[in-house]
Amino acid sequence: MGLVEIRADLHIHTSLSPCSDTWRMTPRAIVERARGLELRMIAVCDHNSMRNVEAVQRAAKGSGVVVLPGMEITSWEEVHILGIFQALEGAWAMQAFVDENLPGENIPEVFGYQVLMDENDEIVGSEDRLLAGATTLKVEEVVEAIHRFGGLAIASHVDREGFGIIGQLGWIPETLSLDALEVSWAMTRPEARQRFPEISKWPLLRSSDAHSPEEIGRAWTRLLVSQGTWAELKMALKGEDGRRVLGGS
Ligand SMILES: [Zn+2]
Ligand SMILES: [Zn+2]
């Protein structure tokens, strides 16, 4: 099978994240923007929830955009870790585990609205859990659970002071089996490598962490793969059979 270069933005929030542009960050708007930017693969990663993933997947049917199930989990140490799952079943299993370990109830007027939508951008409910809060899970437990449920564990925006693993812990523990690190849109990967030399040990992705439609694609990663699937992403991170992570936007 021939290899092709694709664009991937693997960190996009929806109306479910309290800090998002609630009424504009809808399933259809996300797919429309991704298609316009020729993003072949995106991952929907709301804070501590994957409950809007299926709506975006259904909105993307026939669009050519592959939507991977994801979640941005906040560990007890307030480190953000992305879980990007092969299958919805795994993402749901992770959700059940996160639900059991996420204390607190949302106050929309204080923390923001957490809106569940369907593929037609219709509001179907809201989430009462405090998604903006931290779980009681240590960062090791988060990474271990992501792997247990068939996901890739990626440390979010490692160059950021707040909620980035280096900013929160001071370093990246050698024992942590992360599959990749994410550099934020605010810094290029060469800049990040220069500033944080230790990160060069891991594959580096760069994603938008979009909270509004305009932010989608403000950073992306080019991947050399045979097609836009989770399995191919995993091979690219491991550098298997010619698959690899190329430069970013
Ligand atoms: Zn984050
Ligand atoms: Zn995020």
> Model confidence over 193-217: pLDDT tens digits?
999 999 999 999 999 999 999 999 9
Q: Note whether 137 and 188 are within 8 A (CB).
A: no
Q: For 177-205, what is the mean pLDDT? A: 96
- Residue 61 CA, ligand 1 centroid: distance in Å: 27
- Residue 80 CA, ligand 1 centroid: distance in Å: 5
- Residue 159 CA, ligand 2 centroid: distance in Å: 13
- Residue 1 CA, ligand 1 centroid: distance in Å: 36
- Residue 11 CA, ligand 2 centroid: distance in Å: 6
Let me know if 218 is exposed, middle or buried by CB neighbors in 10 A (0-12, 13-18, 19+).
Answer: middle
Range of the domain at 185: 4-248
Report residue 247's pLDDT band, with 50, 70 and 90 as the boundaries.
confident
- Residue 35 CA, ligand 1 centroid: distance in Å: 24
Nearest bound ligand to CA 81? Answer: 1
When the pLDDT of each residue in the chain is averaged and rounded to a whole number, the result is 97
Nearest bound ligand to CA 165? Answer: 1
What's the structural domain count of the chain?
1
Q: Note whether 62 and 26 are within 8 A (CB).
A: no
Residues with CB under 5 A from ligand 2 (ion): 72, 209
As a whole number of angstroms, the distance between CA 58 and CA 210 comes to 20
pLDDT value, residue 248: 67
- Residue 247 CA, ligand 2 centroid: distance in Å: 21
- Residue 64 CA, ligand 1 centroid: distance in Å: 27
Between the two ends of the chain, the Cα-to-Cα distance in Å is 26
Nearest bound ligand to CA 80? Answer: 1
- Residue 2 CA, ligand 2 centroid: distance in Å: 33
Query: pTM (2 decimals)?
Result: 0.97
- Residue 84 CA, ligand 2 centroid: distance in Å: 13
pLDDT above 70 covers a percentage of the chain that reads: 99
Looking up residue 91, the CATH number of its domain turns out to be 3.20.20.140
As a whole number of angstroms, the distance between CA 163 and CA 159 comes to 10
Q: For 237-243, what is the mean pLDDT? A: 98
Q: For 26-36, what is the mean pLDDT? A: 98
pLDDT, tens digit, 9 for 90 and up, residues 107-159: 999 999 999 999 999 999 999 999 999 999 999 999 999 999 999 999 999 99
pLDDT value, residue 249: 61
Report the candidate in 74, 91, 92, 72 with the shortest Cα–Cα distance to residue 82.
72
Q: Note whether 125 and 113 are within 8 A (CB).
A: no
**Cβ partners under 8 Å of residue 92, min gap 6:** 50
